[in-house]
Chains A and B, each alone.
Chain A
Amino acid sequence: MTTPWSKRIGWAGADGLVLLLALFPILWIVMLSLKEPADVTDGRFIPKTFSLQNFKNVFDQDIFTKALLNSFGIALIATVIAVTLAAMAAYAIARLNFPGKAVILGSALMIAMFPPISIVGPLYNMWRNLGLYNTWPGLIIPYLTFALPLAIYTLTTFFREIPWELEQAAQIDGATPFQAFRKVIVPLAAPGVATTAILVFIFCWNDFVFAVSLTSTSAAQTVPAALSQFSGTSQFTAPYGSIAAAAVIVTIPIIILVLFFQRRIVAGLTAGAVKG
């Protein structure tokens, strides 16, 4: 029985509506970035004249290229450390038996619910005293703290799905423990680890509260914080053209990540319940 056309059109309409709503604001920012800098406040949706001047301006300003570097480096380092620490903890929680598992998961959850503003003040003070203010470690450490609960939860869920008996079966077949781990467990764990790394990276890349409170110059300022401090090409031009161009540039990695890893991300966020 073929599906009736009315149903097909209905679902096509639903799909189209979702696409439109999800992507319309992005389209607007792209349009903004392609306007002439002087036209940025003219209130039109489609630019009068298309121009790449905003993108040139953005790269002329040191502040943005440095911010990109900061964002990328800090997010990468935080992701690597967070996934490593979380993998160890998740392995223990998923595989071993020891008291305190529930406490650890529970306190991880509590930390994820924490209002960042409640520790921004003391961190600001502490970091200034320790010389960590406006440095990469100064941001990496709070990112780790807030990324770890997310990473531990995601990895624990994935690790629980792994059939650990395969490791034993490989050893019975003659593999050493390390070979069994490397050839059997690692490939099974890799998707979960990849998903977790992506989710953590997105989290660090997007953060604003810590970035704007714990940094002040391009030594460590990440893109979200730098965006809020952009100035225009001259005293009289609004900076929004540059902001829009910077916004487009900073969104491209995310779009690439989402395009390639949509299935993984959905699996990670739905705790693996949903198949692609």
Chain B
Amino acid sequence: MATTTSARTRSERKLGWMLCAPAVIVMIAVTAYPIVYSVYLSLLRADLRFPGDRAFIGLDNYVTVLGSSLWWADFGHTVLIMAVSVSIELVLGMLLALVMHRALFGRGLVRTASLIPYGIVTVVAAYAWLLAFSTPDGGFVPKIFHLQHDLVDQGHPVTSFLVVIAAEVWKTTPFMALLLLAGLALVPDEIQEAAKVDGASAWQRFWRITVPLMKPAILVALLFRTLDAFRIFDSAFIIGQNGTNPKIETVSILGYNQLLNRLNLGLGSAVSVLVFVCVLVLALFFIKVLGTERPGDAA
């Protein structure tokens, strides 16, 4: 009988691996190979404009990038956008999740309306925000406030930032709200009822019952959104006038400019490897230090 069981187990294992194989192969091939190739390129002096000039220069590209004020400026921009937009999204997302969950009526309508920012092409949304605030391009916002200067050009970094952050928050709060909604839906109603009977106010119930019970969901939502926000490209690119506004340039745009505009594969690859390392560090921070559960662990 032992042989029959293990033969069945073995064939189940084989079937399992075979079914997973195509998906795994595609995922690994298109990420593992390019990232290794990226690391390799980052160790060369490789510029597509001077193809004969390739040479192995070790960590020189990294020294150049990490010593460059442009990298640190862009890093600062990225972290700023990330921190501010994720914080705002957390608060607004929580409010939206509460409306989606507990509204007396119109829940379907609210959910449908909130999904539209989620589904809309990011570039389209970015253009909407850019054109609303850009004075020379006919923005209605400057007109309302009778402003003569442009709000989103290089000379006005603060307002440019605010517009990028507003665009990001508008676009992704619904996603954050849905992630939080999943956690909210799991808070048992009976506990809330019991607390109400004991005289707890809605404020107290929220902070003492809902939030602590939602902590895993909140951490997962924060993990996803923070990693997403660090990688921001679309909105900052478009609102930054196709990547030409250095005041709101992010690290991803820097990588893009180096690789695809300046065709400097060595430096551009160093930037992209550094971005990858930053994302890894962020993820590890969330998982190891804050104790975020990996989705699928708790299934």
In the complex with contacts A12-B106, A40-B138, A240-B131, A122-B41 CB distance below 8 A: yes
Asked if A122 and B127 sit within 8 Å, CB to CB, the answer is: no
CA distance A19 to B16 in the complex (A): 46
Asked if A41 and B138 sit within 8 Å, CB to CB, the answer is: yes
Looking at chain B's contact residues, the main secondary structure is helix
The distance from the CB of B236 to the nearest CB of chain A, in whole angstroms, is 11
In the complex, chain A residues whose CB is within 8 Å of the CB of B22: 85, 88-89
Q: Among the interface residues A3, A21, A121, A223, which one has the most CB atoms of the partner chain B within 10 A?
A: A121
In the complex, chain A residues whose CB is within 8 Å of the CB of B34: 118-119, 121-123, 126
Contact of A262 among B27, B115, B252 (CB under 8 A): B115
Q: At the interface, yes or no: B186 with Cβ under 8 Å from chain A? A: yes
Q: Chain A residue with minimal CB distance to B166?
A: A25
Contact of A113 among B114, B237, B269, B279 (CB under 8 A): B279
What is the total number of residues of chain A having a CB less than 8 Å from a CB of chain B?
A: 103
What is the total number of residues of chain B having a CB less than 8 Å from a CB of chain A?
A: 97
Q: Among the interface residues B17, B112, B238, which one has the most CB atoms of the partner chain A within 10 A?
A: B112
Q: Which of B65-73, B80-88, B226-234 contacts A (4 or more CB under 8 A)?
A: B226-234
The distance from the CB of B231 to the nearest CB of chain A, in whole angstroms, is 4
The distance from the CB of A29 to the nearest CB of chain B, in whole angstroms, is 5
Q: Chain B residue with minimal CB distance to A261?
A: B115
Contact of A152 among B23, B121, B125, B231 (CB under 8 A): B23
Asked if A118 and B272 sit within 8 Å, CB to CB, the answer is: yes
Q: At the interface, yes or no: A64 with Cβ under 8 Å from chain B? A: no
Asked if B128 and A122 sit within 8 Å, CB to CB, the answer is: no
Asked if B256 and A266 sit within 8 Å, CB to CB, the answer is: no
B residues contacting A by CB (< 8 A) are 9, 12-13, 15-17, 19-20, 22-24, 26-28, 30-31, 33-35, 37-38, 41, 96, 99, 101, 103-106, 108-125, 127-129, 131-132, 135-140, 142-143, 170, 174-175, 178-179, 181-182, 185-186, 227, 230-231, 233-234, 237-238, 242, 251-252, 255-256, 259-260, 265, 268-269, 271-273, 275-276, 279, 283, 294-296, 299
23 contacts between A and B (CB under 8 A): A8-B105, A11-B103, A15-B109, A18-B110, A29-B128, A42-B138, A44-B138, A44-B143, A93-B16, A93-B20, A96-B12, A117-B233, A117-B256, A120-B256, A125-B37, A144-B30, A148-B26, A160-B299, A202-B119, A208-B123, A224-B234, A244-B127, A262-B112
